[in-house]
Chains A and B, each alone.
Chain A
Amino acid sequence: MHNRTIAELINGLQSKEFSSVELTQHFLDRIGDLNPNYNAIITVTAEQALKAAAAADERLAAGNAPAMCGIPILHKDIFCTNGVRTSCGSKMLDNFIPPYNATVVENFEQAGAVVLGKTNMDEFAMGSSNETSFYGSVQNPWDTDCVPGGSSGGSAAAVAARLAPGATATDTGGSIRQPAALCGITGLKPTYGRVSRWGMIAFASSLDQGGPMARTAEDCAIMLSCMASFDDKDSTCIDREVPDYCAALGQDVNGLRIGVPSEYFSKGLNEGTEQAVRTALAKLEEQGAELVEISLPNTGLSVPAYYVIAPAEASANLSRFDGVKYGYRCEDPKDLQDLYSRSRAEGFGEEVQRRILIGTYCLSAGYYEAYYGKAQQVRQLIQRDFEKAFETVDVIMGPTCPSPAFKFGSKGDDPVAMYLEDIYTIATNLAGLPGMSVPCGMVDNKPVGLQIIGNYFDEARILNVAHQYQQITEWHDQAPEGVAS
């Protein structure tokens, strides 16, 4: 059952081939057997899952059950789950049990999905390798000596290892697309404002966006249809009808204008990765798509701008973790100052502290204009690059990240090298655009991701393009050794 896609599992449930309880138990068993190999899941909610599955079976039996009724999924541990610990990968929240659900969690609950547990992640979503998690790093199912990417590395590894057919994730600078690429699965970061941020623990509020991870574009379409909604609890959520993403999957790519930015094929790009991406583009060209060379001239500025804006917002967003109200508190504080400094020094990991310090510095009197002010200007330039590009093309394609999964510790001493992992993904967050990563090849037996960037609210189009690509290729069907059996 674990080799089937969500679309196939929905058919299986509706044709009574198996029940949701059977399906849920199957995945729980797999998690029990295999998760120790990958450390992809922090918290398993077996009891609640089986209860939800039994309820789903009743709804399925009664007919007209909602789309994802009875389908097991995993939530990234950044989404608040009522009554279930939500750690955000941090010691700071190791003891935090929210009394409310994130809107995303609520939406899947309404759709009848069954939650198997919460996935591992870089601490507060800060990282590109999942090495910053308080709960230990996640192993890439394709090569357990390698990282799964981050920050949604737990969700990506879990889907790749077929511990769940789909998982939620979040993307602030590439945290859905990069781990999807490194784990050989399909992931979508929607337009900023498409998915509610309520109950999703904030890293950088103006960049954070939740999205689905699954094995196929079709499954991502099914998940996004549940996940996206207008939410009046999130002021930045946009009140716009959620289209039926599945209904839009049937269009061929004949005449599709694909923008290929020269800046995404510059030095630093792994040769094998480039070849895989070029092959994918050629394949789409064969189907009638038109490749248009374009330029996104300010791409090079996106990483520095991002590493000012995101830490600046994070430095304020993470101030609430002060040892006063909830979360980690140091032992025997001497006074208020000691309570603050030790709770935060002991509760936050190194990378989180580094980013809080960077952000605090950038916002300080005398530095604000040079850093934060400039970065906001760069952000507008990047946005304009894309707006101009979308005047002549329908989608933009390139590699998701510069190279396939790297070995643990290989970028540990050099934060900047790690930050460059996101060089192709960050610009879309700064512009607020939707982007996907789709498996498009293998290098050294490790997956390569093709990135597809769409115009604002053009999720239906990029999902369709990805789906069309998956109709003529089999990269998304590949499984790491020992996983499919």
Chain B
Amino acid sequence: MKWDTVIGLEVHVQLATKTKIFSGASTAFGAEPNTQACAIDLAMPGTLPVLNKQAVHYAVMFGLAIDAEIGKESAFERKNYFYPDLPKGYQTTQLEKPIVGRGNVEIQLADGSTKNIRIHHAHLEEDAGKSLHEGDFRHGVSGIDLNRAGTPLIEIVSEPDISSAEEAIAFAKKLHSVVTSIGICDGEMSQGSMRFDVNVSVKPSGSDTLGTRTETKNLNSFKFMEECIVKEVERQIDLIEDGGTVIQETRLYNGDTKVARSMRSKEEANDYRYFPCPDLLPVIVTDETIEELRRNLPELPDARQARFVEEYGLSDYDASVLGNDAGMATYFEIAAKTSGSAKLAANWTMGELAARLNNEDISIANSPVSADQLGGLVTRIVDNSISGKMAKEVFEGIWAGEGSADEIIEARGLKQVSDSGALEQMVTDVLAANQEMVDDYINTDEAKRKKKLGGFMGQIMKASKGQANPQQVNQILAKKLNELL
């Protein structure tokens, strides 16, 4: 039997505000536990929330980016449940009147086709703190870190328009690209800046009736999400084909152990008893505010991608890789402008730099090689000062903090010799000193002679301490050997 997969995503995006959604405490990541939680975050008696305007603006910007209806009057509600990392005993969130209404996100698939994923709505809410259980904390004791409590989030809820893990990843990456491009989220997945809840169900191919869905919560990497969806689809199909039924439940997936498990069933689900929060007024967003945010909305990934093709002559592939990542895009543009060679700047950004950053798990924003520095390096490749091989050595030097490309070239004496007179002399000297190799070359079949060139190249590069311009040497060598035939 053939099966269709139906997936809907709920995406929590931490907004990049300096302070929390209802208090003045800092949202910076990584501080000592409970050092960034003020009386409001701790839900001390008598404290009251005051809405962070920046968080509202960021949410509206997201709405504009996905061409959604903006809720001109949205409202906060209380979602009631007890948990130690939820200090008030309720989460302040939006339900009936979210700030962002229906919208659309277009995704690109590997085969080049596009698909529209509808957004049901996006709402503003506060994040909870973190519970540190055994293993993360002390034996037999659970700890609570409330630094994250009150960090502003938007929760983006998609329609169940996604039909595969591939589409889900494309959608997630597109959202990542949008929120980082407009600057409302730092996109640091490993720090929990974006977290995904995945609703999955299967149905017989072509059927109109949706199957029972499960929800897997809190996935914080694209890879884990993909694994989790693939496994969950498989599990559901196996279950049904073996005569069982899928039960509606909330599940957890452990990306490290690759094990998924049930957290709670529908029967155990909380009655959250939502009601309007009496401590907060309705959030009014005026047309003027919307228009101002629209005017100042940073470039969106799709537009940027098109511009990269148009303005820099990049291939569609390069433009999509660079254009979809706000950090890479900014980096690339600086390097391209500094060096004057977009193509080389693109290659270096996507190649050497991206690989190195990836290996060391560093985000491009924290790259040890700045965009200006990479631009300087590319400049020296373009003007033939250094060879591609030397460039890699210079890159390592910049990475290690030894200074700019020019400083390293100077310090290490890496200047490439491109003076044709000097190179001709060098080739002549090497040929003269290696008569046996020359004879061997002459006596070799024409078809195989090309292979022998490498030996001469090695000698010449050695003689020049690697500084001879290889392309030029190649031409001179071929010419001189031809003359000897």
Look across to chain B and name the residue whose beta carbon is closest to the beta carbon of A336. Answer: B84
Known: A236-B279, A319-B89. A199 touches B273 (CB 8 A): no
Q: Which of B255-288 contact A (CB under 8 A)?
A: 271, 273-275, 278-281
A233 touches B39 (CB 8 A): no
Give chain B residues whose Cβ lies under 8 Å from the Cβ of A320. Answer: 43, 45, 87-89
A312 touches B275 (CB 8 A): yes
B279 touches A235 (CB 8 A): yes
Q: Would you give the 0/1 interface string for B121-136, flagging 1 where the beta carbon is closer than 8 Å to chain A?
A: 0000000000000000
From the candidates A198, A312, A324, name the one contacting B144 in the complex (CB within 8 A).
A324
B44 touches A198 (CB 8 A): no
Look across to chain B and name the residue whose beta carbon is closest to the beta carbon of A365. Answer: B271
A45 within 8 Å of B (CB atoms): no
Known: A312-B275, A364-B271. A232 touches B50 (CB 8 A): yes
Give chain B residues whose Cβ lies under 8 Å from the Cβ of A79. Answer: 46
Q: Most A CB atoms within 10 A — which of B42, B80, B279?
A: B279
Write the nearest CB–CB distance from A48 to chain B, whole angstroms. 19
Known: A236-B279, A324-B144, A363-B275. A316 touches B48 (CB 8 A): no
Give chain B residues whose Cβ lies under 8 Å from the Cβ of A233. Answer: 48, 50
How many angstroms from the CA of A368 to the CA of B273 in the assembled complex? Answer: 8
Write the nearest CB–CB distance from B81 to chain A, whole angstroms. 9
How many angstroms from the CA of A198 to the CA of B274 in the assembled complex? Answer: 23
Write the nearest CB–CB distance from A102 to chain B, whole angstroms. 6
From the candidates B42, B47, B144, B280, name the one contacting A199 in the complex (CB within 8 A).
B47
Give chain B residues whose Cβ lies under 8 Å from the Cβ of A482. Answer: none
Q: Which of B3-50 contact A (CB under 8 A)?
A: 39, 42-50
B82 within 8 Å of A (CB atoms): yes
How many angstroms from the CA of A202 to the CA of B47 in the assembled complex? Answer: 9
A316 touches B90 (CB 8 A): yes
B275 touches A368 (CB 8 A): yes
Q: Would you give the 0/1 interface string for A314-328, flagging 1 where the beta carbon is closer than 8 Å to chain B?
A: 011011111011100
From the candidates B42, B48, B275, B280, name the one contacting A198 in the complex (CB within 8 A).
B48
Q: Which of A303-354 contact B (CB under 8 A)?
A: 312-313, 315-316, 318-322, 324-326, 336, 340
Look across to chain B and name the residue whose beta carbon is closest to the beta carbon of A326. Answer: B44
B380 within 8 Å of A (CB atoms): no
A29 within 8 Å of B (CB atoms): no
B476 within 8 Å of A (CB atoms): no
Look across to chain B and name the residue whose beta carbon is closest to the beta carbon of A327. Answer: B45
B51 touches A235 (CB 8 A): yes
Write the nearest CB–CB distance from A429 to chain B, whole angstroms. 12
Q: Which of A163-220 contact B (CB under 8 A)?
A: 197-202, 204-206
List 16 A-B residue pairs with CB atoms under 8 Å apart, sorted by A's residue number. Answer: A80-B45, A86-B45, A99-B44, A100-B44, A202-B46, A204-B278, A205-B279, A235-B49, A236-B281, A313-B275, A316-B89, A319-B80, A320-B89, A324-B84, A324-B144, A368-B273
Look across to chain B and name the residue whose beta carbon is closest to the beta carbon of A312. Answer: B275
Q: Would you give the 0/1 interface string for A81-116, flagging 1 where the beta carbon is closer than 8 Å to chain B?
A: 000001010000100101110100000000000000
User: Chain B residues in contact with chain A, CB under 8 A?
Assistant: 39, 42-51, 78, 80, 82, 84, 87-90, 144, 271, 273-275, 278-281
A234 within 8 Å of B (CB atoms): yes
How many angstroms from the CA of A313 to the CA of B278 in the assembled complex? Answer: 8
Besides A98-B46, A100-B44, A235-B279, 9 more A-B contacts (Cβ < 8 Å) are A198-B46, A199-B46, A202-B279, A205-B278, A233-B48, A315-B80, A319-B88, A320-B43, A325-B43
The range of chain A's interface size is 35 or more
Write the nearest CB–CB distance from A283 to chain B, whole angstroms. 39
B47 touches A198 (CB 8 A): yes
Give chain A residues whose Cβ lies under 8 Å from the Cβ of B49. Answer: 235
A424 within 8 Å of B (CB atoms): no
The majority secondary structure among interface residues of chain B is loop
Look across to chain B and name the residue whose beta carbon is closest to the beta carbon of A93. Answer: B45
Give chain A residues whose Cβ lies under 8 Å from the Cβ of B47. Answer: 100, 198-199
Write the nearest CB–CB distance from A319 to chain B, whole angstroms. 2
A360 within 8 Å of B (CB atoms): yes
Q: Most B CB atoms within 10 A — which of A98, A205, A316?
A: A316
A325 touches B39 (CB 8 A): no
Write the nearest CB–CB distance from A195 to chain B, whole angstroms. 13
A372 within 8 Å of B (CB atoms): yes
Give chain A residues whose Cβ lies under 8 Å from the Cβ of B88. Answer: 316, 319-320
A319 touches B46 (CB 8 A): no
A235 touches B45 (CB 8 A): no
Write the nearest CB–CB distance from A43 to chain B, whole angstroms. 16
Give chain A residues whose Cβ lies under 8 Å from the Cβ of B46. Answer: 79-80, 86, 98, 102, 197-202
How many angstroms from the CA of A198 to the CA of B46 in the assembled complex? Answer: 6
Write the nearest CB–CB distance from B49 to chain A, whole angstroms. 7
From the candidates B39, B44, B45, B273, name the one contacting A363 in the complex (CB within 8 A).
B273
Give chain A residues whose Cβ lies under 8 Å from the Cβ of B82. Answer: 319, 322, 340
How many angstroms from the CA of A319 to the CA of B78 in the assembled complex? Answer: 11
How many angstroms from the CA of A309 to the CA of B80 in the assembled complex? Answer: 16
A206 touches B45 (CB 8 A): no
B80 touches A316 (CB 8 A): yes
Look across to chain B and name the residue whose beta carbon is closest to the beta carbon of A78. Answer: B46
From the candidates B43, B45, B274, name the one contacting A98 in the complex (CB within 8 A).
B45
Give chain B residues whose Cβ lies under 8 Å from the Cβ of A368. Answer: 273, 275
Q: Which of A69-83 contact B (CB under 8 A)?
A: 79-80
Look across to chain B and name the residue whose beta carbon is closest to the beta carbon of A320. Answer: B43
Write the nearest CB–CB distance from B457 to chain A, whole angstroms. 72
How many angstroms from the CA of A197 to the CA of B45 in the assembled complex? Answer: 11
Look across to chain B and name the residue whose beta carbon is closest to the beta carbon of A376. Answer: B276
Q: Would you give the 0/1 interface string for A258-302, flagging 1 where the beta carbon is closer than 8 Å to chain B?
A: 000000000000000000000000000000000000000000000
How many angstroms from the CA of A235 to the CA of B53 in the assembled complex? Answer: 13
Write the nearest CB–CB distance from B264 to chain A, whole angstroms. 14
How many angstroms from the CA of A96 to the CA of B46 in the assembled complex? Answer: 12
